[in-house]
Amino acid sequence: MSEPVLSVRNMTVKLGHLTILQNVNMDVEKGDVVGIVGPNGGGKTTLLNAVLGNIPLTSGEVFLFGKKIETFNDFELVGYVAQNAIQFDPLFPATVKEIVSLGRLSRKKMGRRLKQEDREAVDRAIDLMGLGNVADRKISELSGGQKQRIFIAKALARRPKLLILDEATAGLDVCMQDHFVNVLRGLRKESDFTVITVSHDLSGVMCQANKLAVVNRRLMMTPIVPGTDPTDMLRKAYGEHFTFIFHHDHNVCTNPLIEIENQQGAKPG
């Protein structure tokens, strides 16, 4: 078996005297779609930042593509959309295409001009996220949902081997959420890349992922196969009052991009 894309071993993260994550273990294999859920404050975002090396571990180890996170420097393999990606200066004078183009930069590529393959990757990411008609507009002119799509496109432009999403679709309307799911399915057919996504949409995770990770200081993980019932695991994290509810019909929007283009003046999400 090939080396896991991500391995976490006995990881504990503390902030002062507060334990955020305790004794976390997980393996993510090539081609996995891992859905991470859990209550607010349970440590989901901390988990992502820890595996990316953004915050120090109190104990334990993290390996990305077989390398310890402390020595890993191939971050061009990783696409990441942060939970607060759109929280920046609203008057920042950059266009959609300029922001998405940043996805093609890395430590190894800083200071050089974009090549033809870079420009093609940027244009394709913009088209995939339905932003072609606003590619030359400044981001300050766009809606919150459109801005969120810009940062998803920026991550896709990297053509990553591992895509990490922290509630990346939370600001999108239902049709665009469904469209993004279809985009990921299509891209994964082209190249078997790996997705880790934090979401509050439990029904969406159960439909789209092949592994479920439930986080509330500790991490519980299970494969998602026909007949999987995560109720007990979810109740351990959320509490005995938890009830599993489907949020919306994923078949409502059959062609969301056409709908978006017909409503250009409405600034859809």
pLDDT of residue 44: 96
Instruction: Report the distance separating Cα 166 and Cα 145, nearest Å.
Output: 15
Residue of 161, 139, 117 lying closest to 267 (CA atoms)? 139
Residue where the block lists tokens 């469904």:
178
Q: Give bridge partners of residue 26 from the DSSP assignment.
A: 8
- Helix 144-157 vs helix 174-190: crossing angle, to nearest 10: 10
CATH 3.40.640.10 fits 32-51+77-266, yes or no: no
Report mean pLDDT in 10-residue bins for the chain, 269 residues: 89 95 97 94 96 96 96 93 74 89 76 85 96 93 89 94 91 85 87 90 85 96 89 87 56 37 35
pLDDT of residue 248: 45
- Domain spans of the chain, in order of start: 32-51+77-266
Tokens of 212: 């479920």
pLDDT of residue 244: 58
Q: Give bridge partners of residue 213 from the DSSP assignment.
A: 36, 221
Tokens of 42: 């349970």
Question: Within the chain, what is the greatest distance between any pair of CA atoms?
Answer: 55
Residue of 208, 207, 210 lying closest to 224 (CA atoms)? 210
Tokens of 54: 């953004």
Residue of 161, 156, 157 lying closest to 5 (CA atoms)? 161
**b/e 201-228 (16+ beta carbons within 10 angstroms → b):** bbebbbebbebbbbbbbbbbbeebeeee
3-state SS class at 258: helix
Residue of 153, 172, 173 lying closest to 163 (CA atoms)? 153
Q: Provide the whole-model pTM.
A: 0.86
Q: pLDDT by residue (tens digit) across 140-159?
A: 888 888 989 999 999 999 99
Instruction: Report the distance separating Cα 168 and Cα 207, nearest Å.
Output: 17
- Helix 116-128 vs helix 144-157: crossing angle, to nearest 10: 140
